[in-house]
Structure 1
Amino acid sequence: MQKVQSKDSKNWLVFMLYTRNEHDECLRVIEEILKETNNRNDVASYVKGLILRSRGEILQSLEIFKWSQKLNPVSMEIVKQVGRCLHLIGRSKSAIDVYEQALKLSPDDWEIWHCKGMCHTHRNELDEALECFHSANLIQKHDVTFIQQGEILVRKEDYKSAIDVYLEALEFSPENPELLTTLGLLYLRLSENLKSFQYLGNALTLDPINTKALLATGSIIQDRSDHDAALLKYRIIAVYNPNSAQLWNNIAMCFFGKGKYVATIACLKKAQYLDPFEWIIPYNLGIAHLSTQQFASAFHYFNAAISLNAYFASSYMYLALALSNLGDIENACAAYEKAISLEEDFLIYLNYAITLNNYGQKEKAREIFLKFKELFDKLDAVSRELDPDIQSRSRSLQASLDQ
């Protein structure tokens, strides 16, 4: 008598082909199995859904997972895949509903809590997302959950709590370069350069070609005006990530610090090509053109920077400088006033006063100069000595106003 094969007899072959990434052959075997079993092998259907989703056929994958769920309604793995597909096609609310049903059956599954948190994040429901990620970490700690938790806290501008989360993550996973790099970047954002350098250095010890860590380390070195050392870091990044707009922006400003303005503008234009919507790039192009006395071009780039970021006071100050050199004193004054409305910076007042004095408006210049003196005198002695050019310009202006 002929032996009847079990409907599950080829499941081992499906798994073997799938794990070997032999997807075409795997699909062929799956189709044979589904034909033999009248589409009632949940394992074959499940793997077919995984393959189709990896190929971008998410809607077809979702339908297959839903069918698998009917065949095996208690399988948490299938439920997770249904939720994942719904999230990928933008139906995050439906995915949350699926995960909530799953949590009733399996409340201690960290992955369900994590995926639910991802859906809330996508819907910008940040407090709900934080609760989900916290619940996930209480069940089982995972780097990816800590990272998501920290990213939400950064979005909420709660940097101290974000640092605490990443420090806790490092206790669990002390040799994770991504965690170390993220901590370094957070400390850099808070201007704690020494701590930043420490964590970025640890990240580079574990991963010497970590481009994010190299870029941040180069930025710190660049801030210390050691442009050649920074360029050495950037040279490594250029090998592994040559299409980084931030990289070419930083390289450009190294050349700017070395007084190589042609190279500066060339690198900045490459950066702008790679990321035309990053405001700092046209801002730096404006600075470069202002330094080479190409005032019309400088005006164009500062205007572009403002259209991308209308809340950076220095953009208006330098726009005013370009306009004043082009002879448009009325609009220059309007730009200075806008800059002051955004930030009361002594440098804005100094440049404003110099511009007014150059155009013969001495009374207004004296008024603005007094405001500069008031802000500048509040600085400590060390800060006042950092830029001797400011003191030189203020003395020259004072002498002119006293005549």
Structure 2
Amino acid sequence: MDLPPLVAPAPELTDAELRRYARHLCVPEIGEEGQRRLKNARVLCVGAGGLGSPALLYLAAAGVGTLGIVDDDTVDESNLQRQVIHGQATLGSPKTASAARRIADLNPLVRVVEVRERLTSGNAERILAGWDLVLDGTDNFGTRYLISDACELAGVPHVWGSILRFDGQYSVFWAAHGPTYRDLYPVPPAPGSVPNCAEAGVLGVLPGLLGTAMAVEAVKLVTGAGTTMLGRVSTYDALSARWWEIPLAPAPGRPPVTLLRDVDGDIGEVAAACAAPGEQAAPGDVPSVTAAELAALLAERERGEADFDLVDVREPYEARLAAIPGARLVPLAGFESGEALARFDPSRRVLLHCKAGSRSERALRLLRAAGHADVAHLEGGVLAWIEQVDQGQRPY
């Protein structure tokens, strides 16, 4: 959809800006006026990870005057495979600080605002106040719905992207002129039904494509150049190197957002919040144990006072990085194919775990469907175990 420029032009460019942005100035659709709009723009990026990294780098290079970065995480070694704004020198640093440092080196004319907070319903209105445009570079459904709702309340557009393995999607949402994220996905998926990038993986170069495409949409929205992705969703399959596009319109009868739900990124709570009036999300029936409870059970098993089968449903490489002593490895694929189900004694209790809990929940449901009644999984997975019981291991 063609839209008017989102931002008014700033005063005249300095000589330094004229030199830096010379290749923009000779592009008719941008020119000096468009560059002045970019200089005057305030763009907020939620997430300084795989999608946020290229988007922030290219928006900084393009001359966006003020960039905001919302992220409460720190740089981990596993991030560097795809989060190209960070580097070895900033391992352990807040991602906002690491990104700000790289942006300052790339373009010192850009002002960076760091927001070292997790976006929640309690702070979203405050954090989004005063920004012209929001980029959603997050990786969980709860925060995506929250960003969409907060932008609808604030009356600002937002650019969204999503990646998993070899696949990516992106679009522009703006309630005042077209559809929102809720029109694309009216109800979140069931808890545990969709893995995140940490569990399913992602091709490291894929965020570069999608994050850069998001930055292109941001530049177009700010300057009024071209036709935006509002009302369209683009998908990319890296394995076949093919792009597809589908039209998207506001869902008829969808009520406008009037308040922000206290979802805190939890898919189960989001599902309840999205349910139609009189409709309730199905209650979870997932027996679980905490990390402390598992530690006590393992001690009892060591003393011969308890008997159970502790099963790790992750991949072999993950077990090499971090493990719970006494667990045997049975990857989730064996549960899904049915091949592993026959290897369990129906009379013996089974405790399952994965990295964070979603895969073990999936395995639990499959095992119970096969007739195993006494089965539970570890809340929070290995990450909870390391945080609460075995701090000597390093999270991955």
Q: TM-score normalized by structure 2?
A: 0.26
Higher relative contact order (CA 8 A, sep 6+): 2
Q: Given the two structures, how large is their TM-score scaled by the length of structure 1?
A: 0.26
Identify, as 1 or 2, the structure richer in strand.
2
Higher share of residues assigned helix: 1
Larger Cα Rg: Structure 1 or Structure 2?
1
